[in-house]
Structure 1
Amino acid sequence: MPWPGAAGSLTEREDRPFWVAVLEERFPDGTVRAVGHVFGAEPTNPELYEFLLRHGTALLRRVDRAAAAGDAPRVDLGGRRPRIAGRSGN
């Protein structure tokens, strides 16, 4: 179900030995919900695009069912910076 005013982002990060894509959705009331997908090797941008075309709707449905970030345990990234999908570098 779409939420008026909601904004989302997809972040890809390395969580050795895997790569994880995290879809975050931020709602106007300040609520944040997120879901992730674990890849094996680092996916290329075309692979991420194809993944989103095939599975994007299912990810959005998972976000709708996910607990709000304040209600879920925090995850330690171990000081690693995530790589934003579609951006080079990092």
Structure 2
Amino acid sequence: MAHYYFDLKNGMTERDHAGRDLDNDAQAIAEAYAIADEISSRPPANREHARHVCVVHENGHEVMRVPVITRMQRVSAAGAKKIS
């Protein structure tokens, strides 16, 4: 089991100081997707930068960045795919 942190990046970094113990990177990535989905309905603090949830292993290694996609962006992307 390892400890993972889930930092929010949006031009600036909002550090996760608590983190969570998880079995492996795959579980941490799944958790990051859940966090990104949860915060997608909140307006971004900085609209000039894309938001990402960064999965950081306890050793400091960045495992993955998961984009935070707003509900409006999802609707726009779905509409764009139908037109193509």
The two structures have a TM-score, normalised by structure 2, of 0.36
The two structures have a TM-score, normalised by structure 1, of 0.35
Structure number with higher helix proportion = 2
Bigger-Rg structure (1/2): 2
